[in-house]
Structure formats: structure tokens, C-alpha cells
Amino acid sequence: MEEKKNRPKKPHRPIVKPSRTGADKRNEKRVLIKPRKENGAEKIRRNERNNKPINKKHGIKPLKVIFLGGVGEIGKNMTAIECGDDIIVIDAGAIFPTDETPGFDLIVPDVTYLVENAKKVRGLILTHGHEDHIGGVPYLLKELKIPVAGTKLTLALVDNKLREHRINDSKQITLTPGQTVQMGCFKIRPVNVNHSIAGSLAFAIETPHGTIFHSGDFKIDLTPVAGEPIDLKTISDIGSAGVLLYMGESTNIERAGFTMSETVVGNTLDRLFEENTGRRIIVATFASNVHRLQQIIDLAVKHKRKVALSGRSMHNVLEAAEKIGEIKIPEGALTDISKIKNMRDSEIVVVSTGSQGEPMSALTRMANGENSQITVGKNDTVIISATPIPGNEKLVYRVINNLYRLGAEVVYESLENIHVSGHACREEHKIMHRLLKPKYFIPVHGEFRHLKKHFQLAASLGMPENKMYIPEIGNCIEVSQNGLKRVESVQAGSRLIDGEGIEDENQSIVIEDRRQLSEEGLFIVSIAVSNGEVVGEPAVTARGFVFDFHRDYNKEIREVILRAIEGYDLSHGTVDELKKQIRRNLRNYLMKKTKQSPMIVPVVVEV
């Protein structure tokens, strides 16, 4: 060993590779190593890591977001997400009729596109249990047999609706924050958020192109009266992992600062209960605001009052919430509304529906003196624990005025902090944007002005305008790593519900007839026909039409009708042609003489 160590080192000689001739190169055997072909999942992960666009030629289908409701309006929220052969639907809401839709019961989204692609639809996921998010579920399930997913309370409220519509075969999936559910190629992760109803969720939806985050309706409440605060840590983790598209609700985007905590309402109500000892208290609030109901019940017990419920939805929600343990009602806290006439005012709290001034609600009927169970008087204090939804202001203030006329004291938001919104204000939206750090942004859930303000807020935070889009109903937006691209729109709009009937608003003759009846009135012209000839005098009945009674219009109208039918031979014409002639002549006369255009209904009776 010693000799080996002391052996002198050989001098370094550079290695010289022998040169190859052209013949050597031609005769050289070449070995090509082919790279292993990636499967689809590996390709998606590589593209996401490198932030490179996914090549559609390799079989990855485009990702589309389709807006079927809830944009450019408050209510009937519905959004579809489509990728290849899979579609999921977020929410199926409704909205109540307006002056422009007289006589209808409910308005829901047009789901023609979903019905046409029924084989692709994998399920419906619900953010929470408010009417503008679940009111259209029964009408959707009548046309599509798909699973419905939501939290316990949301599904309990949906179940009440399905029983009313005699739908007994729906598959329901209970969602819990943190537990994922797979629907087609979409992996859906529910995230706990705060709102004015328990069991509210946001969704992080993993797609082949990246993650879509849908906020649902939310606010940041760090001191909720029940349940957990919004899960900001999970939202932050989702943002750190990468969000392709953020769809954020926009209802309160015009309000600066932060939304007050629900605990503020409890403190105000406690003081009002204390100040109104000896008086009867009536509280009107949203039936779905379970946490608010819990506070009212607890305060009633504290102040030794019984709680009486007024309004069907109030009973339904309380029953559903108690069944799943979302609300706790102390024994003996409730009393039947029919018994309060025999109780002292100081012993009663009436909890009522109608905080939005709905025409047939319990509070509106009280204000109009039409509620058979409750007569409002000078010893009543009415607390309206809600804010008017945009468009409902006139209805709400009409109810307040009528309550004052009856002698009651009325407390509403302008006077006291007896309501806090369930929707985020601007500073909360800023927090959400900062946590998620999305590549693209689309504002949802709001009228156009709300969507525009949210668009501007995102721009002020550094989001380029070419990475955002303000949608309209029917828009279809293709989302990829390359950008947002509007593609061909789909059929969308509203369907009008009237009892068991459904009418497409875009093609509705009924709604046009109702508008004309409400604006111009009605003329019914009846004539008798015998053996193909008109006999007798025409009978004219008018409703809702303004006459100048100083002129003898009745005589002139009959003369116009007689000239229209004079000598008309039914053997050479049809009854329909006779009706058209009467309608045309009378319409021309009325427009010329009165500048009005009522609906004219000719009736031909064969005798």
C-alpha cells in the first residue's frame, strides 16, 4: 500500500477523440429515445405549473361560463359552467313579479339551454337558501332529473318547495365546508361564508383549465351570533394555489366600509324590548334569517314574552331549521297566533313576514286592517328589521305610512340599527380580491350599475380591464389561460309562473294582453247571428275605460259597429273575419275620438 501511495503520478494527457470520416458517420448506428407520452392529467398539471395555455387540439375541451340569470338584475340567480360533456349549475333562483308583469306569481330563469343539453348536466349546487337562489329549483327539476347539492338548511328549505310541487324523487347531496364533491370533470369544494341565512357557501370549482371561485352571497362577519366566521384562511389558501376566474357578488358594492356584524342588531333589539315594556311588539323580518329569529326568540324569553308567528313562510322556515338543529326554541316560548287576543300586550311578541311590503304578506294585511288575527292599534310598536330590496321601497313605505295611520309606533332602519345586510361592502370586496388574486374577474349578482362599480373596484386594485367582463343574461364566456372570450350567446331570459301555467316572457302574448288591459281597459262587443245573418242590436260592455260622459259615445259606438256588420254575409265569410272587421272599425273610432286604445273582444253568438 505504501509503495502505491508514493508512486509518481502520470502526466495528464488530453483525451483526443479520433476524427470521424463521412463514411464513419454514415455507417454509425443511431439510437433515438422517444419521450413517454403524457396522459391528460399529467398534461394539465404541467400546463398549470408552467402557466401555459392548454392546447385544444390535444383533446382538452373549452371551458364556458353561461349566465342564465342574476346579472343586470337582483334575483333569479343561475349560472352554468360547461366543459366538454359536463355542465354544472350554480343556483336556481326566482324573483317576484313587478308592475311590468301584472298578475303573475313568480319569475324564474329560462332553462331552454339546459334542457337542450340535458345529457350533459351533472348537478345543481346551491350557495344558500334564499328565494333568489332556490325559488326556481322545483321548475328546473320538473324538466331535468339531476342531483341537488347544498347545506342541511338549504336542502330542508328546498324540500319544502319540492313537496308543494309533488316532486318526491329528487336526489339530494348534503354539502359540508371542506368536503369535496365530484360532478363530471368538476371537483367542487364548498367554503363557509357569512350571510343573512345559515348554511351559506362559496364554491372553489376545479376544472381542467384551472380553479373557478364563486363567492355566493357573503359578508365578512368575525363575530357572528351563530356558526363560524367566514373561512378566510381557506380562501387565502385557494388564492395562493391559483385562481383562474373569480365571480364575485356585487349587491352592496356601492356602500363604503364594512358591513356591521349581526350582534349589533341583537343589542338594538334588546334595548327596544326594554323601552317598550307594556306595549305589544311586532317584528317583521325575513323568514329565512334564522339567526335573527333566534335572537328575537331569546330576547322574548329574557323579557318574559311569548312568541307568536304570523305568515306561512315563517312557520315553514322555523320548522325546517328546528328539525336540523339550526335553531333552538326553549320549551313554552311559542304560542299560537289565535291565542294572543286573550293575552296582555306586554306578554306578546309577534314575528311576522312582510318586511318587503309584499301585497299578500302578514304585515301588509295588518297595515291595511285586513288581518283577521291581529288588529294594529296605539299600543303596538312595529319593528321592521330589514332593508328594502331595490325596487321595493314604495311598497315598504306604503306599509309604514298605513301603520302610522292606525296609531302604531314604527321603528325601521332609518331610525335604528335594527338590520344589517348580508352582503359585503367595498372594503370586504377588496379583501376578497386580495386573498384570491384571480387571473380573471367577472362581477355577478346585481343590477348593471352594481356590476359596473365592482368592475371599477377591481380595476382600482390593479386588475387589467381586458381581464374582466361585465355579463348580460344569455352571454357565454369562454375562459382559458389565454383570456376571456365571448362566444355565441344562448337562449335565456325569464319564464312567468301563474298558478300551474308557465309563460315565456320573450314570446308572451298573455303579458302584452295584461299590460294593455291594465293601461287601456277593455271593450266587449256581443252580436247574435241567425242563419248566417246578424240579428238584433249589438251589446257593448266597457271596463277600465275613461269616457267623456258629456258626449254620447254609446250611440256613436253602436253606429260604428252596425256599419261594420251591415250586410255582412257569413255564407261568403267566416266568423273570424267578422270579428276582425268589428275590432278594426271600433279601434279606429276610439283612437280618433278618445286617443285611447283599449283591448276589443268581439263575441259572436249563434242563435
pLDDT, position 48: 45
Grid coordinates representing 17 are 477523440
Domain boundary among 390, 411, 432: 411
| Same domain membership, residue 323 and residue 451 | no
Tell me the CATH number at 329: 3.40.50.10710
CA distances (Å), origin 474, targets 114, 492, 493, 581:
12, 5, 7, 41
* Position 241, amino acid: A
| pLDDT tens digits, 158-196 | 999 999 889 988 999 999 998 999 999 999 999 999 999
Highest mean pLDDT pick, 273-287, 354-368, 382-396, 431-445: 431-445
pLDDT of 50 above 60: no
Domain boundary among 411, 443, 476: 411
Task: State whether residue 576 is helix, strand or coil.
Answer: helix
| pLDDT tens digits, 7-40 | 555 444 444 444 444 444 444 444 333 444 554 4
| Same domain membership, residue 237 and residue 193 | yes
What residues are paired with 471 via a beta bridge? Answer: none
| pLDDT tens digits, 315-373 | 988 988 998 888 999 999 999 999 998 999 999 999 998 878 777 788 999 999 988 88
Tell me the CATH number at 187: 3.60.15.10
Grid coordinates representing 556 are 256613436
What are residue 363's phi and psi, to 5 degrees? Answer: -65, -40
| Same domain membership, residue 236 and residue 171 | yes
**Which of 568, 586, 588 has the alpha carbon at shortest distance from 577?**
568
| Same domain membership, residue 367 and residue 317 | yes
Number of structural domains found in the chain: 3
CA 358 vs. chain centroid, Å, equals 18
Q: How far apart are CA 54 and CA 51, in angstroms?
A: 9
| Same domain membership, residue 288 and residue 385 | yes
Domain boundary among 411, 446, 467: 411
Q: How far apart are CA 272 and CA 289, in angstroms?
A: 19
Q: The cell 317598550 sits on which residue?
A: 276
| Same domain membership, residue 228 and residue 154 | yes
| Same domain membership, residue 168 and residue 270 | no
Q: How far apart are CA 403 and CA 355, in angstroms?
A: 13
What residues are paired with 501 via a beta bridge? Answer: 498
Please say whether the beta carbons of 340 and 308 come within 8 A.
yes
Q: How far apart are CA 151 and CA 177, in angstroms?
A: 9
30 is a domain residue: no
CA 267 vs. chain centroid, Å, equals 31
568 confidence band (pLDDT: 50, 70, 90): low
Residues of the domain holding 550: 521-606
Please say whether the beta carbons of 224 and 291 come within 8 A.
yes
602 is a domain residue: yes
| Same domain membership, residue 426 and residue 406 | no
Please say whether the beta carbons of 403 and 410 come within 8 A.
yes
Query: What mean pLDDT comes out for the span 92-100?
Result: 80
438 is a domain residue: yes
Highest mean pLDDT pick, 97-106, 258-267, 422-431: 422-431
Grid coordinates representing 532 are 248566417
Please tell me the number of Cα atoms within 13 Å of 341 on its side-chain side.
6
CA distances (Å), origin 462, targets 57, 232, 242, 247:
33, 21, 17, 17
Q: The cell 288591459 sits on which residue?
A: 517
14 is a domain residue: no
| Same domain membership, residue 479 and residue 376 | no
Q: How far apart are CA 384 and CA 411, in angstroms?
A: 6
| Same domain membership, residue 162 and residue 245 | yes
| Same domain membership, residue 345 and residue 271 | yes
| Same domain membership, residue 369 and residue 310 | yes
For helices 312-323 and 290-302, what crossing angle results, to 10°?
Answer: 90
337 is a domain residue: yes
Task: State whether residue 4 is helix, strand or coil.
Answer: helix
What are residue 30's phi and psi, to 5 degrees? Answer: -100, 140
pTM: 0.78
Tell me the CATH number at 549: 3.10.20.580
